[in-house]
Amino acid sequence: MADERWTNPALPAPVVLRERPAERLAVGFASVLRGLGISIPARATINFVEALGHVGMKRQMSVYWAGRSTLIARPEDLPLYDKGFALYWLQRNPEMVTVEGEPPPVTLALDTDEPETDDDDDDDESDDPGEVQTLRFSRVEVLTEKDFSECTDAELAELTRLMSRLRFTTHARRSRRQVTTRGRGDRPDLRRTVQFALRHQGEPFRRAYTQASEKPRRLVLLLDVSGSMEQYARALIRFTHAATVSRSRVEAFTLGTRLTRITRHLGSRDPDAAMRAATPEVKDWAGGTRLGEVLHEFNDEWGVRGMARGSVVVLLSDGWERGDATELGEQMERLHRVTHELIWVNPLKASPGYAPLAAGMAAALPHVDRFVPGNSFRSLEELAAILAGGSRPSH
Amino acid sequence: MNHTPSSVAEVSAALAEHDYLADEGLATSIFLALTLRRPLFLEGEAGVGKTEVAKVLSRWIGGPFIRMQCYEGIDAAQAVYEWDYSRQLLHLRTAEATGRAAEAAVGELEGELYDERFLIRRPLLEALSPTDGPPPVLLIDEVDRADDEFEAFLLEALSDYTITVPEIGTIRADVPPLVVLTSNRTRDVHDALKRRCLYHWVEHPTFEREVSIVQLRAPHVGKPLARQVAALVESVRGFGLYKPPGVAETIDWAMSLAALGRTELDVAMVEATLGTVLKYREDQQRVTQQGLQEMVQNALLRGGS
């Protein structure tokens, strides 16, 4: 027979705290971890206290594992957890705790004259709405063609607003999910057929069908944030943000000296709030490039593992590789094998006389389905159109 | 038979008795899952033994093992229950043929159709159905492959262990199942679902543990060979391969070599059987380039032949 313990899930498990201060210690630990940047809901802290009640606090390792299984939910947080554990439980050993190696967070230049933010600092253009509209419109005309590297902060802000109006769809693929149809579909829908039959003395003369539904393909954006891309990355990260919030199934990463996943941080609808959330995450802003290595990491941890399979992957980079170009070529080939479409957006492509001579670009190009410029709003608009409508190019 | 472990050590011992060697982290998570009665969420590389955890729990607890493989588009009909529509239709036809359909009220006919005998129980309903014995072990495999909507549904089902079948009523597990979820991280599973669970990231085992696992799972493989193969796999994992071999591959490799009548590693045999561990051409090339001769030498040394 089942034991009492299994019989009523609604009752909390009997918790006996061996030492009174366990709760306080647990809460303290949780707040240290929060301070290090791990998100810990109160619920998890309560679980941790319960867990401590069961494993006891006599052994350091028991506390360590109890905390790990209750407080942590992502492997990325494990190094921080270890740091926090050392800080809090191992007598605050400064050797293990130093936050060295992390450069001070760089803040993206935020635009000062966006209407959303200029509650008190009235700029020249927000005074008279009527006139400004026309003025702005003509300015926009010119602006959409302008190279991002020549835009002022104000102009970039303007473009950000335009970007948020872009529609990001990717071509659909058949999903396994079945939906009901009006007419004849792929498969008989017995469930609805029975329902109809019941209304007519059990005579199933009306047949219902289902068919496979369609689903937009996942869109994965990989943004190069190395030094050589700096002038463009400011605009492109806004493009990335616009794509992330406008639809589901989008993933965003930055590539530089390391790989950073910014999907979650770009989640806010407000572009500035999203930038504020994402920028501290990207620790290698305007640093060096090791595209090949970082792409390798992406392939291992996310891409080839499943995220890029059947997806549309867009790489926004100038292809400047300071590392080994062969590695980049290999990784592009590997990525290309699993994606539905691999698009390389290179802002430099628009400059007159451009040829893909950079070693990295040359190595990557054979594995790219489409190679498009991304230097101005107009070119990004075209990119959005390619994503939405383009059929798969032939290789 | 019921199991209410009193300590982490007891869990480790019981799992080992059923052929699974867990490290302290995993044993602690399992212990807590049993005592706090929470689902256990396991993530890690393919081949580190995530699925096996659920199977061994079932062997130990003695409850039935119920597996729910997730895939894109999975919905309640495949996860919880479905009516056997073809049989329902047949039933209706029979009623019609015997002339009963014309007489019987629609309500009566409907009542007959939505009878337990036309109900197809899918894994989740199976796991929540009342049992006399020990709780079932429900494995929700590769939850990252399901759609987010399905996650929300799971979250609800796992929070109070009840399911409502409109035509029959509410089904509630008086013995809640032990739930193990696994994910390969092809996308982020929603935080809310993870927070319901205890989380454990499963690592590749240490050298000594891997040797023990090989010996446990393939007892006919001699100890020297088991040690050498484990040593070789350990070094292969360090080469930054596309798909580093998991424990399952180590066992396969040891068994293949034993089946070929080897009691020790040799270069020719390693080369011939490389396909049992490395499933990408690039990975095989990379390993061969490192110099098999030297790797086998080192493995022989490390394995203490």
B35 contacts chain A (CB < 8 A)? yes
Among A41, A57, A55, CA closest to A13:
A55
List helix spans (H) across B64-205.
76-79, 85-97, 100-103, 106-113, 123-128, 148-160, 191-196
B168 contacts chain A (CB < 8 A)? no
Residue A342 burial (CB < 10 Å; 0-12/13-18/19+)? Answer: buried
Please report which confidence band the pLDDT of residue B139 belongs to, taking 50, 70 and 90 as the band edges.
very high
Identity of the amino acid at B123: P
Q: B194 in helix, strand or coil?
A: helix
Tell me whether residues A69 and B25 touch, CB distance under 8 A. Answer: yes
Q: A178 in helix, strand or coil?
A: strand
Residue A355 burial (CB < 10 Å; 0-12/13-18/19+)? Answer: exposed
Tell me whether residues A296 and B240 touch, CB distance under 8 A. Answer: yes
Gap from A56 CA to chain B (nearest CA, Å):
9
Tell me whether residues A43 and B242 touch, CB distance under 8 A. Answer: no
Give per-residue pLDDT as tens, A222-272.
988 887 887 788 788 888 888 887 777 888 898 888 888 888 888 777 777
Among B245, B246, B250, B257, CA closest to B220:
B257
Please report the sign of the dihedral spanned by the C-alpha atoms of residue A306, residue A310, residue A312, residue A316: positive
Architecture of domain A108-171+217-395: 3-Layer(aba) Sandwich (3.40)
Give per-residue pLDDT as tens, B110-132.
788 888 888 898 999 999 888 88
Please report which confidence band the pLDDT of residue A315 belongs to, taking 50, 70 and 90 as the band edges.
very high
Mean pLDDT of A83-88: 87
Residue A105 predicted with pLDDT over 50: no
Q: How does DSSP classify residue B1?
A: -
Q: Which residues pair with B41 in a beta bridge?
A: B181, B199
Tell me whether residues A62 and B43 touch, CB distance under 8 A. Answer: no
Among A311, A312, A323, CA closest to A360:
A323
Please report which confidence band the pLDDT of residue B59 belongs to, taking 50, 70 and 90 as the band edges.
very high
Mean pLDDT of A39-47: 87
Give per-residue pLDDT as tens, B227-238.
999 999 999 988
Q: Residue A109's pLDDT is what?
A: 31
Q: Which of B83, B113, B198 sits opposite A70 (nearest CB)?
A: B198
The Cα–Cα gap between B235 and B295 comes to 8
B64 contacts chain A (CB < 8 A)? no
What is the ipTM, given to two decimal places? 0.71
Q: Residue B174's pLDDT is what?
A: 81
Tell me whether residues A190 and B89 touch, CB distance under 8 A. Answer: yes
The Cα–Cα gap between B245 and B55 comes to 21
Give per-residue pLDDT as tens, A326-368.
889 989 998 998 888 899 998 888 877 777 777 888 888 889 9
The Cα–Cα gap between B77 and B124 comes to 10
Structure tokens at B194: 């993870």
Q: What is the mean pLDDT of chain B?
A: 88
Tell me whether residues B134 and A176 touch, CB distance under 8 A. Answer: no
Residue B221 predicted with pLDDT over 60: yes
Residue A129 predicted with pLDDT over 80: no
Q: Which of A10, A66, A307 sits opposite B187 (nearest CB)?
A: A307
Please report which confidence band the pLDDT of residue A6 belongs to, taking 50, 70 and 90 as the band edges.
very low
Please report which confidence band the pLDDT of residue A390 belongs to, taking 50, 70 and 90 as the band edges.
low
Mean pLDDT of A22-39: 86
* More confident call, B106 vs B239: B239
Q: Residue A135's pLDDT is what?
A: 34
Residue A289 predicted with pLDDT over 90: no
Query: Which span out of A121-125, A319-323, B155-159 was modeled with the highest average pLDDT?
Result: B155-159
Whether residue A83 contacts residue A60, with contact meaning beta carbons closer than 8 Å, is answered with: no
Q: Which of B25, B31, B191 sits opposite A68 (nearest CB)?
A: B25
**B282 contacts in chain A (CB < 8 Å):** 330, 334
Q: Residue A71's pLDDT is what?
A: 93
Closest-CA residue of chain B to A52 = B32
Q: What is the mean pLDDT of chain A?
A: 74
Q: A368 in helix, strand or coil?
A: coil
Residue A275 burial (CB < 10 Å; 0-12/13-18/19+)? Answer: buried
Q: Residue A104's pLDDT is what?
A: 35
Whether residue A3 contacts residue B5, with contact meaning beta carbons closer than 8 Å, is answered with: no
Please report which confidence band the pLDDT of residue B181 belongs to, taking 50, 70 and 90 as the band edges.
very high
The Cα–Cα gap between A364 and A289 comes to 15
Q: Residue B226's pLDDT is what?
A: 93
Mean pLDDT of B87-91: 87
Whether residue A30 contacts residue A38, with contact meaning beta carbons closer than 8 Å, is answered with: no
B165 contacts chain A (CB < 8 A)? no
Mean pLDDT of A61-70: 91
Structure tokens at A197: 């039959």
Q: Residue B75's pLDDT is what?
A: 83
Share of chain A above pLDDT 70, in %: 76
| CB proximity list for B265: less than 8 A, separation 6 or greater | B225, B228, B229, B232, B257, B296, B299, B300, B303
Give per-residue pLDDT as tens, A139-168.
455 667 777 777 777 777 777 777 777 777
Mean pLDDT of A27-49: 88
Share of chain A above pLDDT 90, in %: 7
Tell me whether residues A9 and B160 touch, CB distance under 8 A. Answer: yes
Q: Residue A381's pLDDT is what?
A: 84
Give per-residue pLDDT as tens, A190-208.
888 888 887 777 777 788 8
Gap from B90 CA to chain A (nearest CA, Å):
10
Q: Which of A6, A47, A309 sits opposite B36 (nearest CB)?
A: A47
Share of chain B above pLDDT 90, in %: 40
Mean pLDDT of B59-72: 92
Q: Which of A8, A198, A204 sits opposite B106 (nearest CB)?
A: A198
Share of chain B above pLDDT 70, in %: 98
Give per-residue pLDDT as tens, B30-52.
999 999 989 999 998 888 889 99
Q: Residue A387's pLDDT is what?
A: 82
* More confident call, A13 vs A353: A353
Residue B185 φ/ψ region, left for φ over 0, alpha for ψ in the -120 to 50 degree band, beta for the rest:
left
Residue A214 predicted with pLDDT over 90: no
- Surface of B (247-266) touching A: CB under 8 A: none
The Cα–Cα gap between B17 and B14 comes to 5
Residue A382 predicted with pLDDT over 90: no
Tell me whether residues B186 and A202 touch, CB distance under 8 A. Answer: no
